[in-house]
Amino acid sequence: MKNREQSMSTLSPGLLLISVIRTPKSYAQLLVQEREVVLRLARKSGLLARLALLLQESGVWRRLSLRERNILEGARVLCLEHERMLSWEVDRIRRAMWDSKVKLMVLKGAAFAQAGLDLARGRMVADVDILVEESQLDLVESLLKKAGWEAEIHNTYDQRYYREWMHEIPPMRHRQRLTEVDVHHTILPRTSRLKPDGERILEAAVPVEDTPGLWRPSNEDLVLHVMVHLFYDGDMERGLRDLVDLDFLARHFCQNDGFWDRLIMRATALDVMLPTYYGLWTVHHLMETPIPNRVLITARDAGKPGLVKGAIMRKLIALVIVPDAPDGVSKVRTVARWLLYLRSHWLRMPPLLLLKHLTRKSRRRINPDARNRRAV
């Protein structure tokens, strides 16, 4: 009993959640207050439905209280509705592209689902991400408009921001179903220091079985996109869910002979070795994902993070990606999150353009009404 009373002090709330995700049966050994922390933090991190499935499949479900089962079952039912929505919207988008000769690739959650990965179960989705050839962006946008999607952003500056500098056009929302689709032509902004070629990603695409006209990224590109999104383009605020995705993908695909060598070769070809190194290090360090040491060393040497910069980044990542409490954020984590937010913008834009962009965003925060005005 004494050891169990002390268990709350041995792990931070975030590490406690990670421990349960890795070993679901351990949830049954937690104190009542520890379970409460895990449930609240799982909800905050977008992992509550995933946790519900893990606890069901591990045999722990029958040992839960009625309240716990109600909370988890509610999240699971909501997630099932998201899964149905995702499947329907992908089908509608595919139909909108029919006979257009557009090579339509789904990304992220939609790609996990179309690849038949168990990871797609219990994974909440907010929108549908697709990738097409840059030369076909106008055609794809036109076809989506005919099918009922409309641009969400009308501000002239924001339109220019997306179309000239970003890796996607402005988000589009369906006028009736209110579902959103993000149309990408690559996976990092045009102005980013790293420039992965969207055409190469499309060339390596895998056709979705029994679904003509639909493609998904290769296994290696599925993994790389998660790492690029999390460790280069994103601010890592809700990065734990992405880390869980990465852990699942790595464990799943590493069963294929030669996967790690192909992953490193692909990261080199797409010019994304730096986020690949941070991704491999983080998932190995926090999730204990079995990654060969030679792969970690190769990624580090090729990514060239630098001794000091690499150490600082690893510390910041560990601080931000692991939630520290269900409610509130510590001052240290706030500073770390802010530094990573600045880093993500620094990497995606050249200094002068970044200064202008952040200045405009600051003015909008001061004068929120300016968001809806058309720039002159």
Element holding 104 (H helix, E strand): strand 104-106
pLDDT in tens, 199-225: 999 999 999 998 999 999 999 999 999
Whole-angstrom CA distances from 203 to 104, 206, 213, 218, 320 are 12, 9, 14, 9, 35
- Identity at 192, one-letter amino acid code: S
Cβ pair 31, 8 in contact under 8 A:
yes
* Full residue range of the structural domain in which residue 141 is found: 80-217
Could you tell me the sign of the dihedral formed by the alpha carbons of 91, 97, 103, 106, in that order? negative
Range of weakest confidence among 171-175, 232-236, 275-279: 232-236
Q: What gap in Å lies between CA 169 and CA 185, rounded to an integer?
A: 8
Which pLDDT band holds residue 227 (cuts at 50, 70, 90)? very high
Of 192, 217, 242, the one marking the end of a domain is 217
Q: Which amino acid is at 135?
A: S
Does the pTM surpass 0.85? The reply is yes
DSSP string for residues in 214-276: EEE--HHHHHHHHHHIIIIIS--TTHHHHHHHHHHHHHHHTTSTTHHHHHHHHHHHTT-HHHH
Q: Annotate 96-115 with DSSP letters as a single string.
A: HTTTTT--EEE-HHHHHHHT
**Phi, psi (deg, nearest 5) at residue 23:** -135, 85
- Considering the chain, what is the average pLDDT of its residues? 89
Do 192 and 228 lie in one domain? The reply is no
The yes-or-no verdict on residue 172 having pLDDT over 90 is: yes
Q: Do 370 and 224 sit in the same domain of this protein?
A: yes
Residues 296 and 200 in one domain: no
Residue 31, CB-side half-sphere exposure with 13 Å CA sphere:
14
- On whether both 185 and 251 belong to a single domain, the answer is no
**For residue 26, is pLDDT > 90?**
yes
pLDDT at 179: 93
DSSP β-bridge partners for residue 215: 105, 207
Say how many domains are in the chain.
Answer: 2
Residues of the chain by 3-state class (helix, strand, coil), percent to 5: 65, 5, 30
The confidence band for 369, taking pLDDT boundaries of 50, 70 and 90, is low
> Quick one: pLDDT band at residue 366, thresholds 50, 70, 90?
low
Confirm whether 73 is domain-assigned: no
Asked if the model's pLDDT at residue 75 lies above 80, the reply is yes
The token pair at 96 is: 């909108």
Sign, CA torsion 184/185/191/193: positive
Residue 164 pLDDT exceeds 70: yes
208 in a domain, yes or no?
Answer: yes
Contact present, 361 and 341 (Cβ < 8 Å): no
Looking at the structure, tell me whether residues 233 and 355 fall in a common domain.
yes
Q: In what order do the strands lie in the sheet with 180-184?
A: 149-151, 172-174, 180-184, 128-131, 104-106, 214-216, 206-207
Q: What is the DSSP letter of 168?
A: B
List, in order, residues 6 or more apart from 353 with CB less than 8 Å away: 165, 191
Q: Are residues 150 and 224 in the same domain?
A: no
Q: Give me the mean pLDDT over the 234-262 stretch.
A: 90
Instruction: Judge whether 56 lies within some domain.
Output: no
Choosing from 163, 198, 217, the residue where a domain stops is 217
The packing angle between helices 13-22 and 32-44, to 10°, is 90
For the CA atoms of the chain, what is the radius of gyration? 21
Does the structure show a pLDDT above 60 at 68?
Answer: yes
High-pLDDT (> 90) share of the chain, %: 66
Domain end: 217, 234, 266, which one?
217
- The residue among 118 and 326 whose pLDDT is bigger is 118
Q: How far apart are CA 106 and CA 83, in angstroms?
A: 14
pLDDT at 257 over 80: yes
CATH number at residue 91: 3.30.460
Enter the DSSP assignment of 62.
G
Residues 244 and 369 in one domain: yes
Q: Write down the pLDDT at residue 85.
A: 94
